[in-house]
């Protein structure tokens, strides 16, 4: 139980620290998150994006820009906290450093996939929806991120109940 309390305290500090870093970061400093998403979208849509300093990745064919607000950092932080906490309450716990490392790498990979999915949905769906584009973008983002959080929660829960990762 003491290990869990320590882990929770560490996760709270990590959460606060990451939120602070993201709040002061500019688009150039989070390029490591935007670049793979931009390249994946370019590959899937057979288009090309260019990087605009202090703006983000602009795709002239699709007429959109992937910038700080599209980075998925908030999703990453939330997903990371959830995964790390879930791993910390297993009977056979990983050491803290392994837990944090695995959780961060896994969360970053899922963030890339979720963010790419969200942006592809935002590119393709708005022509079908007659709402304000900003509201549509927000609804799509919320729906996609919620789907990924719920899907992986259910996957972890199923895996634990069936003793795949105990």
* Axis-axis angle for helices 133-161, 73-88 (nearest 10): 10
Q: Which tokens hold the place of 157?
A: 């829960």
Q: Does pTM top 0.75 for this prediction?
A: yes
* pLDDT computed for residue 128 by the predictor: 66
Looking at residue 91, what DSSP letter applies?
S
Element at 47 (helix H, strand E): none
Going by pLDDT thresholds of 50, 70 and 90, the confidence category of residue 44 is very high
The pLDDT of 33-51, averaged and rounded, is 94
Strand partners, 52: 56
pLDDT, average across residues 83-100 = 85
Mean pLDDT of the region 74-93 = 88
Beta strands, E only, 39-140 = 49-52, 56-59, 64-66
Q: What is the mean pLDDT of residues 162-166?
A: 62
Residue 165 has pLDDT above 60, yes or no: no
* Residues of the chain above pLDDT 70, percent: 93
């Amino acid at each position: 139980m003491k290990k869990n309390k320590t882990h929770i305290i560490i996760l709270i500090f990590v959460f606060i620290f990451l939120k602070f870093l993201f709040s002061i970061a500019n688009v150039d400093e989070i390029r490591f998150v935007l670049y793979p998403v931009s390249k994946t979208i370019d590959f899937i849509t057979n288009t090309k994006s260019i990087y605009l300093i202090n703006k983000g990745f602009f795709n002239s064919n699709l007429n959109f820009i992937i910038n700080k607000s599209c980075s998925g950092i908030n999703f990453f932080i939330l997903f990371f906290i959830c995964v790390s906490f879930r791993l910390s309450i297993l009977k056979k716990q990983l050491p803290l450093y392994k837990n944090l490392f695995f959780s961060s790498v896994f969360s970053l990979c899922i963030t890339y996939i979720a963010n790419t999915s969200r942006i592809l949905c935002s590119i393709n769906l708005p022509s079908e929806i007659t709402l304000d584009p900003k509201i549509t973008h927000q609804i799509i983002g919320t729906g996609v991120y919620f789907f990924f959080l719920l899907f992986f929660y259910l996957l972890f829960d199923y895996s634990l109940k069936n003793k795949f990762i105990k």
